[in-house]
Structure 1
Amino acid sequence: MLVRTHPAFANQHYRDMELQSRVASASPHGLVSLLYEELLRALDLLTATAKRGSAISGNPHQVKALSIIIALDSSIDLANGGDLAGVLQRIYRSAVHRLNEAARTNDVAGITELRDAISEIAYAWAALAN
């Protein structure tokens, strides 16, 4: 018996497999880049959810975005990162607060502002690789 799957599930499955492959072959610098990509994607999906009028507090995309921000924060090497490490730590901790506040109030503009700020950091990180 042939079982058909919904195209969205198949797309997510292939996306997950591709991400796993990228993680397995990534350098430490590349892993951080992947985290930024996934964070930006989660924020985009969260924005779309909010624009549809759905509650975003506790939404899986909010949880994923928070998890990634916390992972980025916990990966900072404060002993060797100099002033930049402290700045990034303050940014990430502020991002957690801003995301929680935006989710609590379903504030699309707040999520968009956070996404814009994170994207600047992600672009700067990517530029370091070049």
Structure 2
Amino acid sequence: MNSYSAVQHYSSVKVHSSVETASPHRLIQMLFEGALERIAQAKGAMAQNQIARKGELIGKAVAIVGGLQGSLNDKEGGALATNLDDLYDYIIRRLTQANYENNPEYLDECGRLLGEIKTAWDTISNHV
């Protein structure tokens, strides 16, 4: 096993154990962090004209946002859950458009939107 593979394996084990011990609130934070990281990486891949890598990273970001969307509770969340569902749907469409049009501004927009939601989510952790 080369050093890169060892680091990847360690990171995978570390993330897996973090997920197992995380609270539901922390799991959502981790999803936000993962989506924002993939978007930033996709923007870098886009700048370096790494088309396949960009598509892979945007695909991962879309999947994570889909996970956030799937975690919404319509019954308890009411109008807020409905609005977040619509916003996540918009972000997914915009990420897809960023990939198709190779437009980093769309990635920036998605990052800003997710960053704002994450900030609000982080704030409520003190009240849960």
TM-score, structure 1 as length reference: 0.89
Once the two structures are superposed, the pairs formed by residues 14-25 of structure 1 within 5 Å of their partners are: 14-25=10-21
Q: Percent identity?
A: 28
User: What residue ranges of structure 1 are gaps of 5+ in the alignment?
Assistant: none
Once the two structures are superposed, the pairs formed by residues 45-60 of structure 1 within 5 Å of their partners are: 45-55=41-51, 59-60=55-56
Number of residue pairs the alignment of both structures matches = 126
- Which residue identity does 2:100 align to in structure 1? R
Q: Residue in 2 aligned with 1:5?
A: 2
Higher mean displacement: 37-46 or 10-19: 10-19
Correspondence 1:117 to 2:125? no
Which structure has the highest helix share of the two? 2
Provide the C-alpha distance between the structure 2 equivalents of 1:121 and 1:38, rounded to a whole number of angstroms: 14
Give the CA deviation at 1:54. 2.3
User: What residue ranges of structure 2 are gaps of 5+ in the alignment?
Assistant: none
Give the CA deviation at 1:82. 1.7
- Which residue identity does 1:5 align to in structure 2? N
Any runs of at least 4 consecutive aligned residues in structure 1 with deviations exceeding 6 A, and if so which? none
Correspondence 1:26 to 2:22? yes
Correspondence 1:66 to 2:53? no
**CA pair 119-107 structure 1, distance change in 2 beyond 3 A:** same
Provide the C-alpha distance between the structure 2 equivalents of 1:73 and 1:18, rounded to a whole number of angstroms: 25
Once the two structures are superposed, the pairs formed by residues 83-94 of structure 1 within 5 Å of their partners are: 83-94=79-90
Provide the C-alpha distance between the structure 1 equivalents of 2:112 and 2:6, rounded to a whole number of angstroms: 30
Provide the C-alpha distance between the structure 2 equivalents of 1:62 and 1:24, rounded to a whole number of angstroms: 25
